[in-house]
Amino acid sequence: MNLMTSPVSQPEVDEARAQAEGRRSRVSGIDRALQVIDYLYETGAPAGAYAIAKAVKAPLSTVYVIIDDLVGKNMLARNGDGSIWLGPRLYHYGLAYARSLDFMSVATHEMHDLCRQAGETVQLCGRDNDHMLVLAMADGPSHFQVTSRVGTRVPLNWTASGRLLVGHLPEAERLELFKRCARTSPTGRAEVDPRSLAQAAAAAFDERLSIQAGESDYAVACIASPICGRDGECVATISIVLPEQKAFSGENPYIDQVRASAERIERLMGWRSH
């Protein structure tokens, strides 16, 4: 038996095409808005519409429309000089998200405890694709200045935490990652050879300790330990940031302190049984 289907009329085809194009247009609009927000987030500074349009490779007229819409919704803010920056609505979203994370609550409490114990600046760091991201920070009591504040993103090969954050990955994946993302640091002291970095990352992860000095900032050292999740992957790091000479002094309590803090966070989260 032959089953006959009724032909589709041209108006129906046109309507379906228009609906599909409308869906594509809406998705494209959302993507463009995210590109604008991501650009401001990644550069960490206000920018003009022209610079944003050039960076995201979008027509200037399109970017103007998106910016006006996002400013109207408080997702972006327009400064007095006309430059654009992230708006207060994003801050409120971030606060709500942070409140929902048990990990950040537990880790931040431990971060402040370690800061008091060590008497130095302490940071929590995570991975943002090919970069290390400072998630939280407790300033130490000294006048020692740390340039990497909350929200700072730097290449993974510049920092002790960056190596730990990928130390659990398979060797081939670590190697390809460092081939892609290794960059020369401002001081010129950061390792850039992918194979050396891949090996160092695995060794640091196994030792639960990574130390770097003067690689991203002159005279600044970092002693970091991994915070490992239930499956053994490094989900974040906790680190002590201090003057380089202190990190290599005869009496150095920081290594034991930072390892113990990472382990306490894991136990409180139920990721470590002993």
Tens digit of each residue's pLDDT (9 = 90 or more) over 226-270: 999 989 999 999 999 998 888 777 677 999 999 999 999 999 888
- The CATH number of residue 123's host domain is 3.30.450.40
Cα–Cα dist 35/58, whole Å: 10
Q: Within a domain: residue 273? A: no
**pLDDT score at 175:** 96
**pLDDT score at 101:** 67
Based on the fold, state whether residues 110 and 131 are members of the same structural domain.
Answer: yes
**pLDDT score at 27:** 45
Q: Within a domain: residue 161? A: yes
Helix (H, G, I), strand (E, B) or coil at 55: helix
Q: Which of 69, 91, 113 is the last residue of a domain?
A: 91
Q: Within a domain: residue 2? A: no
pTM: 0.68
**Which residues of the chain fall short of a pLDDT of 50?**
1-6, 22-27
- The CATH number of residue 22's host domain is 1.10.10.10
**CA distances for 242 relative to 22, 48, 150, 248, 252, angstroms:** 55, 37, 16, 11, 12
Based on the fold, state whether residues 87 and 220 are members of the same structural domain.
Answer: no
**Exposure b/e, 52-67, CB count within 10 A at least 16 = b:** bbebbebeeeebeebb
**pLDDT score at 155:** 94
Residues 6+ apart with CB under 8 A from 52: 36, 39, 40, 63, 67, 84
- The count of domains in the chain is 2
Based on the fold, state whether residues 250 and 221 are members of the same structural domain.
Answer: yes
User: 96 burial class (0-12, 13-18, 19+ CB within 10 angstroms)?
Assistant: exposed
Question: Containing H/E element for 86?
Answer: strand 84-86
Q: Which of 58, 91, 124 is the last residue of a domain?
A: 91
Tell me the sheet residues that pair with 86: 76
Based on the fold, state whether residues 139 and 224 are members of the same structural domain.
Answer: yes
Question: In terms of residue numbers, what domain contains 75?
Answer: 10-91
User: 234 burial class (0-12, 13-18, 19+ CB within 10 angstroms)?
Assistant: buried
Cα–Cα dist 223/189, whole Å: 16
Based on the fold, state whether residues 60 and 179 are members of the same structural domain.
Answer: no
Q: Within a domain: residue 121? A: yes
Based on the fold, state whether residues 232 and 112 are members of the same structural domain.
Answer: yes
Q: Which of 91, 121, 156 is the last residue of a domain?
A: 91
Based on the fold, state whether residues 25 and 106 are members of the same structural domain.
Answer: no
**pLDDT score at 148:** 78
